[in-house]
């Protein structure tokens, strides 16, 4: 019975990672950049929804939509100001800029909302009780899993069916060729950031509901974990991000329960290393042999 509840907590934690990882992987796949500021956009999403619910008294669904809108705008602004000018710069320069943006967002959030941690009440309260109360599943966990699946399905459909999605895939394969085919690469990348940031807002709401608290640094560690998850599953691959997130959550939860709470992170990372040694491009990643 305990095993089941550990598994469930692992799955719900994993789904949170998965949603964040989906955002990471989208941006990485198309822009080929590690967007370290993604975690902090999540934090902003959390604060916006918190303010909307607690100060403006808006219903949670409206708060989520508002957070999505704000984060989308924020994502596009960041992209336009900080990343776009570096389109042709070496990838490390963009990485450092992303880190700068991450510091900026954290410190700005601290100035705006103060450093005091806020208690975030879950967007849906209560929990499901099974087997005569031996097993309880918070509704938030269920919601997280469902939302995660919906987003994954949506993204898969979007990238494989829609015109814009196809353009994204083309950009991801070969930017120059895509440009020659009449695809506006710059606009496509900006759109990707917009979508990624909107996802970050949803992730923010769910992450904060799951954690129950909100601080200016809320996003940074989950950001790194989700990045790990994305690599785990094969960065750039949408089902890979989902699988990676889920597995990382379960491994962490099981490690905490049966091995050592101190080493939960260590074990998660160790599994990642082993997986990458066996499959150098992650679980579902494409291994592209180098052409000479």
CA distance 86 to 81: 10
- Are the C-beta atoms of residues 45 and 71 closer than 8 Å to each other? yes
CA distance 269 to 256: 13
Any contact of residue 156 with another protein (CB under 8 A)? no
Q: How far is CA 266 from the centre of its chain?
A: 21
Neighbours of 191 (CB within 10 A): 18
Alpha helices in the chain (DSSP H): 2-31, 38-54, 60-78, 91-113, 139-161, 163-173, 175-180, 185-211, 220-233, 238-258, 264-278
Neighbours of 156 (CB within 10 A): 14
| String of contacts with another protein for each residue 204-243, x by CB under 8 A | ------xxxxxxxx---xx-x--xx--x---x--------
| Residues of span 166-195 touching another protein by CB under 8 A | none
Q: Could you tell me which stretch among 41-49, 67-75, 146-154, 269-277 binds another protein (CB under 8 A)?
A: 269-277
Any contact of residue 56 with another protein (CB under 8 A)? no
CA distance 291 to 81: 35
Encoding tokens for residue 254? 């099981």
Any contact of residue 265 with another protein (CB under 8 A)? yes
Binding residue for another protein, selected from 130, 150, 262, 286, defined by CB under 8 A: 262
Contacts for 90 with CB less than 8 Å, ≥ 6 apart: none
Instruction: Report phi then psi at 290, rounded to 5.
Output: -75, 140
Q: Could you tell me which stretch among 67-75, 107-115, 158-166, 240-248 binds another protein (CB under 8 A)?
A: 107-115
Q: Could you tell me which stretch among 126-134, 142-150, 154-162, 167-175 binds another protein (CB under 8 A)?
A: 126-134
Report, in Å, the least distance between residue 207 CB and another protein.
Answer: 8
Binding residue for another protein, selected from 76, 104, 124, 186, defined by CB under 8 A: 104
Any contact of residue 276 with another protein (CB under 8 A)? yes
Nearer to another protein, 165 or 282 (CB): 282
Any contact of residue 162 with another protein (CB under 8 A)? no
- Are the C-beta atoms of residues 285 and 235 closer than 8 Å to each other? yes
Report, in Å, the least distance between residue 142 CB and another protein.
Answer: 12
Report, in Å, the least distance between residue 114 CB and another protein.
Answer: 8
- Are the C-beta atoms of residues 79 and 190 closer than 8 Å to each other? yes
Q: Could you tell me which stretch among 90-98, 144-152, 169-177, 184-192 binds another protein (CB under 8 A)?
A: 90-98
Report, in Å, the least distance between residue 62 CB and another protein.
Answer: 18
Report, in Å, the least distance between residue 157 CB and another protein.
Answer: 27
Report, in Å, the least distance between residue 154 CB and another protein.
Answer: 26
Any contact of residue 107 with another protein (CB under 8 A)? yes
Size of site (CB under 8 A) for another protein: 81
- Are the C-beta atoms of residues 249 and 14 closer than 8 Å to each other? yes
Any contact of residue 60 with another protein (CB under 8 A)? no
């Amino acid at each position: 019975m305990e095993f089941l509840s550990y598994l469930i907590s692992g799955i719900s934690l994993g789904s949170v990672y998965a949603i964040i990882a989906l955002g990471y992987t989208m941006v990485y796949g198309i822009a080929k950049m590690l967007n370290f500021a993604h975690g902090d956009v999540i934090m902003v999403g959390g604060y916006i929804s918190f303010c909307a619910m607690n100060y403006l008294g808006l219903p949670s669904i409206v708060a989520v939509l508002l957070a999505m809108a704000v984060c989308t705008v924020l994502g596009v602004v960041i992209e336009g100001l900080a990343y776009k000018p570096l389109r042709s710069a070496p990838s490390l320069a963009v990485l450092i800029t992303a880190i700068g943006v991450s510091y900026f967002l954290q410190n700005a959030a601290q100035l705006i909302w103060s450093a005091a941690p806020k208690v975030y009440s879950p967007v849906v309260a209560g929990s499901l009780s099974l087997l005569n109360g031996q097993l309880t599943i918070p509704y938030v966990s269920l919601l997280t899993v469902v939302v995660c699946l919906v987003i994954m399905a949506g993204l898969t459909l979007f990238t494989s069916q829609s015109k814009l999605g196809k353009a994204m895939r083309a950009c991801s394969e070969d930017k120059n060729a895509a440009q020659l085919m009449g695809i506006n690469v710059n606009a496509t990348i900006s759109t990707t950031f917009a979508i990624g940031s909107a996802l970050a807002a949803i992730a923010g709401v769910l992450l904060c509901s799951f954690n129950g608290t909100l601080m200016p640094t809320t996003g940074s560690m989950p950001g790194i974990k989700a990045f790990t998850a994305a690599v785990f599953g094969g960065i750039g691959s949408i089902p890979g991000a989902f699988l990676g997130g889920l597995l990382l959550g379960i491994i962490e939860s099981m490690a905490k329960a049966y091995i050592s709470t101190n080493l939960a992170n260590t074990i998660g990372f160790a599994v990642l290393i082993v997986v990458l040694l066996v499959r150098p491009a992650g679980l579902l990643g494409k291994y592209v042999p180098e052409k000479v």
